[in-house]
Amino acid sequence: MQKRVEILTGVIILLTLFTLNKDGIAQNKKAEKDISNLLKTKSVVEAILVIESLESTTLKELVTLTEIPAPPFKEKLRAQKMTQLFEEAGADKIWIDSVGNVLALRQGKKHGKTVVLDAHLDTVFPEGTDVSVKHHGDTLYAPGISDDTRGLVVILTVLRALEKAKIETNTDLLFVASVGEEGLGDLRGVKHLVSKEGHRIKSWISVDGTSINEIATGALGSLRYKAIIKGPGGHSWGAFGLGNPHHAMAKALNYFADEGQKFTTEVGKTSFNVGRMGGGTSVNAIPFESWAEVDMRSENPTYLKKIDSVFKSSMNKGLREYNQHLLKGDVLTLTLTPIGFRPSGKTAETDPLVQRAKAAVNMLGGIPNLITESTNANIAIAKGTPAITIGAGGKSDHAHALSEWWMNEKGVDGIKLALMITLAETGIAK
Ligand SMILES: [Zn+2]
C-alpha cells in the first residue's frame, strides 16, 4: 500500500511539473507573440523610427537634466524641468503631487487599470556637488548621469514617440518621475503614490540601471535604523568613571556583528552593515552621545524580520551589560529610530509582465537575466502588483560615485525596450 501511494504521488508530481512546464512554455510563446505582433504594427514601427530620429535630442536632454542638481529631498528644480519636458512631449494631464512626484497621464481608450512607467528624479549626491557633464571621447562623466537621469530621458522619449506616432493605448498610461528613491528618501515618492493609487495600477515598470539584459523581478528588502546611546558626558580625567556612550556602542555592535554573522551563515545571504558612526565633542571629553546607522537587507521577508530582532536584542544586551558595570553616574540609554524600510518580495517569472520583458530583450538581441534589486518597484511588488525594473540602455559604471559615467553604446535599445514592454502591457487600441 505504502509503495502504491508513493508511486501515485510520484505520478501526480510528474504530471504537475509537466503541466506547469507546458503552461510556462505556452506563456512564453504568448509573450513572444505579443512582442512580435507589436513589431508588425505600423504605428509601432513608426514609434521606433521616431526614437531613433530623436537620438540627438535625448542626448541633449540627458546633459540638461543631469546638470540640474537633485540631491535627496531637494528634487524640486529637476521636477520643474521634467514637468516642462512632459508638457512639450504632450500628455493629457501633467501635475506635481503633494510629495513632489511629477506625473504625466496619457489616457487610454478603454477604462480600467493603469500601467506605470517610472524613473527617479533624485540622486545620492549632496547639495554643492559639481554635476556638470564632462565629455571624454564618447563617454559622459557626471554624478547621477546614469542613475537615474538616463531613466528620466527614457520615459520622456517613450511618451514623445507615442505622441508622434499617434499610438492610442487601451489602458491609461502614467509616466512617473519620482522623488526619494535613493538612501534615506526610502522610496517615499512611490510609497505615497502606491498608497493612494495602488488599487488602480495594473503593472509597474521602473527604468533604473543600464543593461537591457537585466530585469529585476526580485525586490531586495531593507531595514535601516539610527541607534543612539546617550549619557551625561564629562571630562575624560575629571569625570572618569561616568558611562561612555562610545564604549557601550562598541560593546553592543560587537554583539550584533557576532550574532548577525552567525544568523547569516545559517540562512544564506542576508546582509547587515554599520554604515556611519559619530558623536562626541573632543578627544578629552566623555561623549554625551554615540550614534550609528545600520542597514540590513534580505530578499526574504522572514529573514529580514529575523535579522531585525537579532539587531535589537544585541543592542539591548550590549547596553544592559555595560550599564551593569558602571562605576558611577546615571545609566546610559539607547534609542533605535527606524530611518528606512523597503519591503521585499518577487514578481513571478511566469507573470506575463516578466515574460513580455524577456521576449522584448530577446527581440533586441539581448540575453535576459532575472535579478534582485532594491528599487521603486519594491513597493508595487510588496503590494502584489506585477512590477519589474528594466535597464535604460547604453553602458555605465561607478553609480553613486563622483566618477559615474554613461556611454551611448546602443543606448537607443533601452528606449525601444521600455516602449515595447509598455505597449505589450497597455495594448494598442484598434
Ligand atoms: Zn537608481
Report how far apart the first and last C-alpha atoms of the chain are (Å, whole number): 60
Nearest to 342 by CA among 105, 182, 215, 212: 182
CA–centroid distance, 136 to ligand 1, in Å, is 23
Domains of the chain (ranges; CATH) run 26-220+344-426 (3.40.630.10), 221-342 (3.30.70.360)
CA–centroid distance, 113 to ligand 1, in Å, is 26
- SS3 state of residue 363: helix
- The per-residue pLDDT for 138 is 86
Nearest to 407 by CA among 56, 201, 139, 146: 139
Which amino acid is it at 9? T
Distances in Å between the alpha carbon of 228 and those of 252, 330, 337? 11, 16, 8
Distances in Å between the alpha carbon of 6 and those of 17, 18, 20, 190? 16, 18, 21, 49
Give the global pTM: 0.84
User: Locate cell 558623536: which residue?
Assistant: 279
Residue 344 backbone phi and psi in degrees, to 5: -105, 170
The residues near 307 (Cβ < 8 Å, ≥ 6 apart) are 223, 260, 263, 264, 270, 272, 296, 298
Q: What is the DSSP string of 331-353?
A: PPEEEEEEEEEE--EE--TTSHH
Distances in Å between the alpha carbon of 242 and those of 140, 234, 247, 279, 331? 55, 8, 11, 16, 9
Q: Are 390 and 207 within 8 A, CB to CB?
A: yes
CA–centroid distance, 56 to ligand 1, in Å, is 23
β-bridge partners, 92: none
In 10 A of CB 232, how many CB atoms?
Answer: 14
- The per-residue pLDDT for 176 is 98
CA–centroid distance, 151 to ligand 1, in Å, is 8
Our measurement of the distance from residue 84's CA atom to the centroid of its chain's CA atoms, rounded to an integer in Å, reads 25
- The per-residue pLDDT for 5 is 46
Which amino acid is it at 174? L
CA–centroid distance, 405 to ligand 1, in Å, is 14
Q: CB-based burial of residue 349 (10 Å sphere; 0-12 exposed, 13-18 middle, 19+ buried)?
A: middle
Distances in Å between the alpha carbon of 12 and those of 3, 20, 23, 260, 323? 14, 12, 16, 41, 61
- The per-residue pLDDT for 12 is 47
Q: How many CA atoms lie within 13 A of 328 on its CB side?
A: 7
Core vs surface per residue 274-288: b (16+ CB within 10 A) or e: eeeeebbeeeeebbb
CA–centroid distance, 22 to ligand 1, in Å, is 36
Instruction: pLDDT tens for the chain, 430 residues: list them.
Output: 444 545 554 544 444 444 445 556 677 889 999 999 999 999 999 999 999 999 999 999 999 999 999 999 999 999 999 999 999 999 999 999 999 999 999 999 987 899 999 999 999 999 999 999 999 988 999 999 999 999 999 999 999 999 999 999 999 999 999 999 998 899 999 999 999 988 899 999 999 999 999 999 999 999 999 999 999 999 999 999 999 999 999 999 999 999 999 999 999 889 999 999 999 999 999 999 999 999 999 988 899 999 999 999 999 999 999 999 999 999 999 999 999 999 999 999 999 999 999 999 999 999 999 999 999 999 999 999 999 999 999 999 999 999 999 999 999 999 999 999 999 999 999 8
CA–centroid distance, 107 to ligand 1, in Å, is 27
